[in-house]
Amino acid sequence: MRIASIRQGVVPISSAIANAYIDFSKMTASVVAVTVEDGAGRRVTGYGFNSNGRYAQPGLLAERFIPRLEACDETVLAAADGTLNVHGAWAAMMRNEKPGGHGDRSVAVGVLDMALWDAAAKLEGKPLWRLLADRYRGGEADEAAWVYAAGGYYYPGKDVEALVEEMKRYLGLGYTTVKMKIGGAPGTAIRDALKEDLARIEAVLKLLGGDGSRLAVDVNGRFGLHAALAYGAALAPFNLRWYEEPLDPLDFATHATLAEHYAPPLATGENLFSMLDARNLIRHGGLRPDRDILQFDPALSYGLVEYLRTLEMLQAHGWSPRRCVPHGGHQFALNIAVGLGLGGNESYPEVFAPFGGFATDTPVVEGRIRMPDLPGIGFEAKNDLWAVLKDL
Ligand SMILES: [Mg+2]
């Protein structure tokens, strides 16, 4: 087993959209291609990228993580059963890295981890979801994954009517649950922003037949406790699917206070990038394992090797993997959802192309999507994404 080559590139995923915290006009993503030879004549290329919200990491990849991966030999890369040892490669990439400070480094490692899992599954001639089910879940995989359509971004000139039209398109694509941004009215006092957001929420709820369980709202970490409680009091009667990232992702004590006052489901975790950060949220964030949703994104948080540790930690704290619905809307997390029995996965039908979305010709039916039976993560079956990756 050896690494034959590693290539990397940076691609733009810019768009005019904004959430309550950032706009996406300068957003980029790293892409990598890792070619592996297994010594038995098989040669495969695995691909990886980082999901939206964090920028490309060409410097970290070039200076530290790619050279460390290139230096791995047979003793590191080959597992006892002859498969590609992704855990060993991961440990080699993290050599000489101090603990703590998870951020851009976790993105760079996550990109390579994704490519290694893609390669490992291709070497075994299996889809990644099947490899994961066989290895970690006694062979049991879900038949389909629940997905919801994330959108409802702020966009210059976008009014309530345009928001409802957008949500209508998602329902037309087969989604049953949708998510919209709130808390982003620029420069507005809380009571005015809340009034505007309630009008937006009520318009979308009307489209959903008044069923709050089909609508989630996302603040992207913008509120302090006062605004989070004011919004929470106004949102509670709608019984929404969830109220996402109302507070700073690392402010665990304030989350705990909010959870004492807001009874319906909360969701957070997309900006926590390690098992240890996730564990602090579980220990100190006051979240409730019977209803709340955890959105750790494996692509942004050191990849699947670390995500497996996070799932183990959750189990030890009494949390089911079904409470996990990863951020990012990518095929990597979708494979993990089906193979490891998560609660579902995010989906971006209209933004973050070509990384958002799933294999071409796999329709969403009643809010669920089936996985194609292709070796690896399945990028080759997603036409727009494959057009970018194959250039590597
Ligand atoms: Mg979010």
Q: Residue range 46-57: average pLDDT?
A: 95
Q: Which of 54, 65, 89, 102 is nearest to 276 (CA)?
A: 102
- In this chain, the answer to whether the domains covering 2-125 and 136-389 adopt an identical fold is no
Question: Which long-range contacts (C-beta less than 8 Å, at least 24 apart) are formed by 92-95?
Answer: 92/68, 93/64, 93/65, 93/68, 93/69, 95/68
Write down the domain spans for the chain. 2-125, 136-389
Averaged pLDDT score across all residues of the chain:
95
Distance 2 CA to ligand 1 centre (A): 38
- How far is Cα 345 from Cα 368, in angstroms, rounded to an integer? 10
CATH class of 2-125: alpha beta
Point out the residues that are catalytic: 181, 327
Q: What is the pLDDT of residues 113-144, one digit of tens each?
A: 999 999 999 999 999 999 999 999 999 999 99
> How far is ligand 1, taken at its centre, from the CA of residue 267, in Å?
9
Query: CATH homologous superfamily for 136-389?
Result: Enolase-like C-terminal domain (3.20.20.120)
Distance 190 CA to ligand 1 centre (A): 20
Residue-wise pLDDT tens digits, 68-95: 999 999 999 999 999 999 999 999 999 9
Residue 187 has pLDDT above 80, yes or no: no
Q: Is 153 known to sit in a ligand binding site?
A: yes
Q: At 186, is the pLDDT very low, low, confident or very high (cuts 50, 70, 90)?
A: low
* pLDDT surpassing 90 at residue 154: no
CB 150 within 8 A of CB 326: no
Q: Is 382 annotated as a binding residue?
A: no
Question: For residue 120, what are the contacts with CB-CB under 8 A and spacing of at least 6?
Answer: 46, 83, 84, 86, 128, 131
Q: What is the CA radius of gyration of the chain?
A: 20
Sequence letter at residue 182: I
Spatial CA neighbour of 90 closest among 104, 69, 60, 105: 69
For the chain, what's the residue count? 392
Query: Phi, psi (5° rounding) for residue 351?
Result: -130, 165
What would the mean pLDDT of 15-39 be, rounded to a whole number? 89
Query: Is residue 165 a known part of a binding site?
Result: no
pLDDT tens across 277-312, in order?
Answer: 999 999 999 999 999 999 999 999 999 999 999 999
pLDDT, mean of residues 160-185: 96
